[in-house]
Amino acid sequence: MTQVVVITGASGGIGRAVAREFGSRGARVALLARGETGLQGAAEDVRNRGGQALVIPVDVSDADAVEAAAQRVEDELGEIDVWINVAFTAVFSRFWHVSPAEYKHATEVSYLGYVYGTMSALKRMMARDRGTIVQVGSALAYRGIPLQTAYCGSKHAIQGFNESLRCELLHEKSNVHTTMVQMPAVNTPQFSWVLSRLPDHAQPVPPIYQPEVAARAVVYAADHPRRREYWVGASTVGTLLGDKFFPGLLDRYLGWKGFSSQQTGQPRDPDQPVNLWEPADGPDGRDFGAHGVFDDRSQSTAPQLWFSHHHKTLIAGGLALVAGVGTAVARKLASR
């Protein structure tokens, strides 16, 4: 059966790359975001790869609009198999320069948008006792960094929300599954469209990965949702382990390096679009696509991801190797 997949934030970045991956599988893909130009571009991507696309312009901070979108998906494409929450917005700024209204809206989109999407998905999936929800997270769900308090706070909130929800589903012995994918720095257009008060152009903290790496991880998680979460990229592994064992040291390091590492050193364009209140592809009809402006500095592969996806095989192979060596040694000692 062809999967029905819903992707929020599908007009650009990781969401756009995920849409392409599912299109290549011939899925029926519902594309949710505010920017209609980007959504139409995403729909063309899906169709060119053999999938079916449904464009639904929606602001995920509006719970009623998200619910209406979910119902439209089921009416036009069929029962939802996979719901993927990606949509977010952010503010690059020192905390004390962010207004209450800006902080509130960034949180409504980046955190409550996930909550509302999950609510609408669960309402349908639990009645059928099947389905998968993928929360696209970040290493910043565990490790906060300077200049992104609203984004980091939202990712931390999603982490706690998803853990609680997973426990409830396990208690119910439900066949609906939720999992989270913790991302590294990714070359997406967000660094050219978020509300920024930095003097220089914002950048992801290197090393930077291409959105296709993230998309492959999301699709794998959707196919294997019983694991509670996935870590993408060696930098994510290093960040999360470092925060577990040396959080205070990381605080000081990021206080020292966290400002310069998030800026290119080139002045920010004062006329760059701002997507906090309106979609970035609004007035000029620009389609930003999946990639940001850091193609020449971004990695297209993540070897760590292969090891993560095949960890059971690797563990079994390692145990077999140890057992084999142990047997050989025992035989040699017995023959003496």
Confidence band, pLDDT 50/70/90 cuts, at residue 16: very high
71, 165, 43, 78: which is closest to 115 by C-alpha?
165
Provide the residue ranges of all domains of the chain, joining segments of one domain with +: 4-301, 311-336
pTM for this entry: 0.91
- Find the mean pLDDT for residues 124-139: 98
Confidence at residue 318, expressed as pLDDT on a 0 to 100 scale? 53
Confidence at residue 22, expressed as pLDDT on a 0 to 100 scale? 98
pLDDT digits (tens, 9 = 90+) for 58-92: 999 999 999 999 999 999 999 999 999 999 999 99
6, 55, 8, 19: which is closest to 290 by C-alpha?
19
Q: Is 49 helix (H, G, I), strand (E, B) or coil?
A: coil
Which segment of 28-32, 133-137, 245-249, 318-322 scores lowest on mean pLDDT?
318-322
Q: End-to-end CA distance of the chain: give it in Å, rounded.
A: 62
CB 46 within 8 A of CB 17: no
Provide the angle, in degrees to the nearest 10, between the axes of the packed helices 234-245 and 247-257: 120
User: Which residues, at least 6 apart from 48, have a Cβ–Cβ distance to it below 8 Å?
Assistant: 23
Confidence at residue 332, expressed as pLDDT on a 0 to 100 scale? 67
Q: What angle do CA 155, 161, 163 make, to 5 degrees?
A: 105
Confidence at residue 175, expressed as pLDDT on a 0 to 100 scale? 98
Using CB atoms within 10 Å of the CB of residue 177, give its burial: 0 to 12 exposed, 13 to 18 middle, 19+ buried.
buried
- Find the mean pLDDT for residues 7-21: 98
When the candidates are 3.30.230.10, 3.40.50.720, 3.20.20.140, 1.10.472.50, the CATH number that belongs to 4-301 is: 3.40.50.720
pLDDT digits (tens, 9 = 90+) for 296-319: 999 998 887 777 776 565 565 555
pLDDT digits (tens, 9 = 90+) for 42-53: 999 999 999 999
- Find the mean pLDDT for residues 8-32: 98
Q: How many CB atoms lie within 10 A of CB 159?
A: 19
User: Which residues, at least 6 apart from 81, have a Cβ–Cβ distance to it below 8 Å?
Assistant: 3, 4, 5, 130, 131, 132
170/280: higher pLDDT: 170
